[in-house]
Structure formats: C-alpha cells, structure tokens
Structure 1
Amino acid sequence: MTDIIEMTKQQLVEGGYSVRVTDDRDGPVLLFENDSVLGFAVCFPDAENLLEQWQLTSQRILKSEQFALRRAERKAWNAYFVFLTRSPGDYGENIMLGGIEEDLVGTRKIARAGINDAEDVCAALLPLLTIRNEPRLDAVDMRAEIRLRTTELPRELVDGFLSGASESSLMQLLEKGQ
C-alpha cells in the first residue's frame, strides 16, 4: 500500500502540488495542495475494504484536519479524497466505486481499483493533473485558409478583404455581387 502512496505522491509533486504524508490509524494518508485544490489520498488493501471503510475513513481524516480545512478558506470548497487499491475489484465493486465518485457530499472523490503502477496512478489522478501534452499546431497560411473557406463569395470581395480595403469598399463589392 505504501508503494501506491509513493507513486501518488510522485505524480502529484510532478503536477505542482505540495505534499506530505501523515499517519492514520489504518495507514499512511497523503495530504496534497496547490493554489486551488487540496486533498487526501488513502490506499486500501482491496476493493471490498475500500467500499466498506471509505466513509468512516474520510470522516476521521476530515475531523483530524479540520483546522487546516478552515485555514484553506475557499480551497476547502475544492477538496478531494482519492481512494485507491491494488486489487482490481469485480464488476459490481467497480460499479460501486463509480457511485463513490458521484457522491459529492463534503468533498469530491476519486475511487479506483486495480492500481498497479505509475501509469494507473496517473490515469486515476487525471482530474487533478494539468494537461501534460501541449497541442502541436503547424503554421497556417491564413490568406490561403481564408480563400479556401470563402469559395462561395465573389473573388473580388475576398481579395478586397485580404488587401485591407475599407469597409465602404467591401460593402460596394457586396452590393455589386448581388
């Protein structure tokens, strides 16, 4: 379980979060925070245990961290709980994990089973991580693009527009084309 917490910690640090690990009676809890989000990550032995214990665990952690939540002010409205387990869980358990994520009472929640490596952790944490791949856009010849998209307009009008003709000249070309 601590290896999942370590992988989660690494992903969140790479995502720009401040993190620290504290102990709960059932194991380590990862506390994370950035400029707009704060949260807690907990690992369970299996999906069944996660489903049985997530509410009590979250209530206990919220109670122990209540003063930090008060200091967080607006950020407290954007608080997350991340519940993870290595075991994959069966079909029914995975459906119920989705139900945990839909429960928005108190905090937002991420609940995932089958976490085995850093890639799985990254996939689970996507709602918390920034987009990592910037789109690559090729240079665009705007004049050619405008000509390509305005084939139904009179050519003189498009030429006038592209040459920076005055509004009144363009209006005359429009009227002439009708």
Structure 2
Amino acid sequence: MDIQTQAEIVLRDAGYETWSWTGSPPLVACFENQTVIGFVHVFDSGADLIRRWEIDQQTVLARHSTALRSAGLKAWNVYSIFLTAEQASPHEQRAVERIEEDFSLARKIARTAVRTPQDVERVLLPLIGVKAQPLLGDANFEARLRSRLKDIPADAVTAFLASTKAEDVARILGDQ
C-alpha cells in the first residue's frame, strides 16, 4: 500500500485540500482546510524516521514559511505527520512515541507499522471529524424524550412538550 496516497485519500474524504510537494526527496503530502495545515512524511523504516524527522520537518516548514506566516490563527494548527510501514523495535518505538511529545514548530503524529488503509485512517483520526451518525428511524420522539427526562417532573415535561411559555415551565419546576 502507498501510505502517502492513502493518507491523501483519507484527508480529502475528510474535507481537506491535498497536494504533493516535491521540493526535496522524499515526496511530502500537504493538506489544508479552514483551520488546519499539515504535512505527511513517509519513511522507509523506523530508524530512517527517527534519524530524519527533524530535518525533513524543518525543510518543509521553511519552504512554506511565507504561507504559514500569512495563515493567521491557522498557523497555530500545523501538523507534521511521520509514518512508516515498518514495524519498529521496542527501542525505536519509544523514540517514535517521544516525537509526539516535541511541540516545537508543529503538532506531531508519528507511527510505525502503518500497513493498511485502516491503519492510515486510525493515525489520522485526530484530524478527521466524527463520522458516526445516529440512526433515528421512525421513532416516537415524545416517548424517547420523556424516557430521557425521567428525573424531571412529568407535569413539567408535559408543559414543555405542549409549547407552554418558558416562564410557566420554570414555575412548575420551581414548585417541585
């Protein structure tokens, strides 16, 4: 699987504009929406990620510095994402995890063993909106609301559902 292409697909599906920057090897996937700007870096190995993440981040951020300075509040939401398909050793894994604790220049997401589209989506979850949509179907909304408001006096709920004035509902609640 091509991690960079899959990342661009996931980000586009989440409403981001994406493009590739070929300024220096390796290729970097850039993304942006109304509130976030970011860069996806893909490495051949965990060791390569650990060795090169800082210089690669600095190179990309320096190249885009003019745009970042003019981005206003969005410049506070810059993400650098560092990924590899290789499974890291325990020592390398700890080093990769520490990358995310470095808040200089950008927020960071760093992961190893990214091998499937589901892995890519899981990595990018902090940047993707909630996808779950409740299935309401044909339901008796009044009955559902009453069941959720069981701690509120029944006459107050009835008054509320009957479009009684707010002051009257408040009075009923106050009398309880």
TM range (shorter): 0.7 to 0.9
Q: Which amino acid counterpart does residue 97 of structure 2 have in structure 1?
A: G
Instruction: Give 2:156's match in structure 1, choosing from 145, 154, 161.
Output: 161
Indicate the residue corresponding to 1:26 in structure 2.
Answer: 25
1:115 aligns with 2:110: no
Indicate the residue corresponding to 2:103 in structure 1.
Answer: 104
Indicate the residue corresponding to 1:155 in structure 2.
Answer: none
The 5-angstrom pairing of residues 5-154 of structure 1 reads 5-136=4-135, 139=139, 140=141, 141=143, 142-146=145-149, 148-149=150-151
Question: How high is the TM-score relative to the length of structure 1?
Answer: 0.81
1:120 and 1:137 map into 2 onto residues whose CA distance is 30
Q: Alpha-carbon deviations, 1:139-169, whole Å to 9, x = none?
A: 55133544x436xxxxxxx454345395798
State the Cα distance separating 1:90 from its structure 2 match: 1.5
Question: How high is the TM-score relative to the length of structure 2?
Answer: 0.82
Q: Is the 8 A contact 2:30 2:39 kept in 1?
A: yes
1:172 and 1:109 map into 2 onto residues whose CA distance is 51
SS in 2 for 1:116: coil
Q: Which amino acid counterpart does residue 15 of structure 1 have in structure 2?
A: A
SS in 1 for 2:115: coil
Q: Identity across aligned pairs (percent)?
A: 30
Superposition RMSD in Å: 2.6
Q: Which amino acid counterpart does residue 131 of structure 1 have in structure 2?
A: V
Greater fraction helix: 1
State the Cα distance separating 1:33 from its structure 2 match: 0.3
Alpha carbons of structure 1 residues 163 and 95: separation in structure 2 relative to 1, 3 Å = same
1:8 and 1:78 map into 2 onto residues whose CA distance is 18
Alpha carbons of structure 1 residues 20 and 137: separation in structure 2 relative to 1, 3 Å = same
State the Cα distance separating 1:61 from its structure 2 match: 1.1
The structure whose Rg is larger is 1
Structure 2 regions of 5+ residues with no counterpart? none
